Amino acid sequence: MERRKLLKTLLAAPVAAAAQTSGGLPPLTIKDVKVIATSGGRQYRWVFLKIITSEPGLYGIGSAGNHYQAHAVIAAAEQHLKPWLIGKNPDRIEDLWQAAQMRTYWRNGPVNNNVLAGMDMALWDIKGKRAGMPVYELLGGKARDAVACYDHAGGRDRESAVAGVQASMAKGFRHIRVQYGEGGYGGGGFIPAGQGNRPEGGYQGLAFDEEMYVDTIPQVFEYVRAKVGFGPKLCHDVHSHLSGMNAVELSRRMQPYQLLFLEDVLPPEHIAYYRHIRQVATTPQAVGEVFSHPYEYLPLITERLIDYVRCRVSAIGGITQAKKIATLCEVFGVKTAFQEGGENDPVNQLAAYHVDISSTAFGIQEENAFPEAVHEMMPGAARIRNGYLYGSGKPGLGIDIDEKLAAKYPLGEIRGGGAYRTDRALDGSVVKP
């Protein structure tokens, strides 16, 4: 062979091979992106992305859920992601994640992250189906037998809080979150509507009072611990309602009740106070439900100022980002407690499950159980038994969606725009959620 010809052959061969095959599998292309929005016949505002490939019958599903800005996510996915994504190679998850994030120029906001997460989960679903394996096998295989979950308990008074914990224990949960009083999050710190010293003509609704909350919650836990003992692992969610030294003081006063964790005792604007908390209390801290940017939790992890990272997988960009956070946590001895519960959907729950079960950094997962109608619409949705979450074990994420059933419950206009509720103090000022 001529020298020039030989050189040409040597240079051309590997490139041609790489373009044609991916580990012996035929090349794939993204043919279509469907946005599926449904209320599930209830009050859900679920948005899913279905990525359809060039291989007949091969598609993936991802959660782009955002309860408070669902229609913004739909528009971002349909008008902006879909035209960009069609024609691309679904095998290149990391590359697509990076390129899709930079595609919007401004990045790390919740809506863009939701869209990114929908794409990312669907791509992992496709890869798993292609490999004939559950996604956790591609992430390194099971690091535990099942994923432990914490249940939600609460009560309007101390007795019903105890009853709530006992009911969770009877269902098999070892980990239980205890909330208290009227008004949901912040219960124990609310002055009833119309009461208290208020400005003339001002706000008359439930009014949050920080010092009242800091006084009340430790007393509730003292009572609950006296009744149920120290067997169950208890946690409590402050939902960012406290500021500065009140957060430090609550962490200190909760120490005798040996919490699994105290959640979001501070809003993301004031995370520097975690340094003060660490100096005075050993109460473990779980943080980050409303975080969407990695640099919000980076210093908290690397300085070991917190014990659990609480972000939601669909709010941070999907499995690709969650796995990286879990690895970062592992290095610094921090654990994961991915947010689920409430308005979350079964696809997001499974995305967290696959990271949880394959990660050494796993701490706990928030529970979320769905009615049978949802299991019918989404076959393969995970199930909780005796305090543990189990996936379907099928290839990919292990879940599907019945599009006809989903279409029966379209996501229509959302009253009031879907805003998260606003809590206020006695003087009418806004309290951070």
Chain centroid to CA 286: 13
Residue 397 to residue 126: CA distance in whole angstroms: 9
Instruction: Clarify whether 241 is annotated catalytic.
Output: no
The least CB distance from residue 297 to Mg ion, in Å, is 14
The least CB distance from residue 177 to Mg ion, in Å, is 9
The least CB distance from residue 316 to Mg ion, in Å, is 15
The residue (of 91 and 307) whose beta carbon lies closer to Mg ion is: 307
The least CB distance from residue 154 to Mg ion, in Å, is 13
The residue (of 289 and 400) whose beta carbon lies closer to Mg ion is: 289
The residue (of 90 and 154) whose beta carbon lies closer to Mg ion is: 154
The least CB distance from residue 240 to Mg ion, in Å, is 8
Residue 104 to residue 81: CA distance in whole angstroms: 9
* Helices within 88-209 (DSSP H only): 93-103, 110-131, 135-138, 158-170
Among 209, 210, 237, 423, binds Mg ion (CB under 5 A): 237
Cα dihedral: 382, 90, 140, 335 (round 10): -60
Number of residues that bind Mg ion (CB under 5 A): 2
The residue (of 237 and 340) whose beta carbon lies closer to Mg ion is: 237
Q: Which of 175, 236, 239, 354 is catalytic?
A: 239
Per CB under 5 A, the segment of 139-147, 153-161, 233-241, 393-401 that binds Mg ion is 233-241
In this structure, what are the phi and psi dihedrals at residue 286, rounded to the nearest 5 degrees?
-115, 130
Length of the chain, please?
433
Residue 162 to residue 307: CA distance in whole angstroms: 26
The least CB distance from residue 138 to Mg ion, in Å, is 29
Minimal CA–CA distance to 176: which of 385, 326, 364, 381? 364
The residue (of 196 and 433) whose beta carbon lies closer to Mg ion is: 433
Chain centroid to CA 374: 19
The residue (of 308 and 362) whose beta carbon lies closer to Mg ion is: 308
Q: Which of 44, 185, 273, 297 is catalytic?
A: 185
Give SS3 for 32.
Answer: strand
Give SS3 for 242.
Answer: coil
CA angle 384, 45, 120 (to 5 degrees): 70
Binding flags for Mg ion, 254-293, as an x/- string (CB under 5 A): -----------------------------------x----
The residue (of 90 and 187) whose beta carbon lies closer to Mg ion is: 187
Which amino acid is it at 148? A
For the chain, give percent helix, strand, coil, nearest 5.
45, 15, 40
The least CB distance from residue 322 to Mg ion, in Å, is 17
| Tokens linked to 294 | 């990695």
Cα dihedral: 254, 259, 263, 268 (round 10): 60
Per CB under 5 A, the segment of 202-210, 236-244, 271-279, 421-429 that binds Mg ion is 236-244
Instruction: Clarify whether 105 is annotated catalytic.
Output: no
In this structure, what are the phi and psi dihedrals at residue 46, rounded to the nearest 5 degrees?
-90, 135
**Binding to Mg ion by residue 345, rule CB under 5 A?**
no
Per CB under 5 A, the segment of 95-103, 167-175, 234-242, 271-279 that binds Mg ion is 234-242
Enumerate the active-site residues: 185, 239
**What is the contact surface with Mg ion in residues (CB under 5 A)?**
237, 289
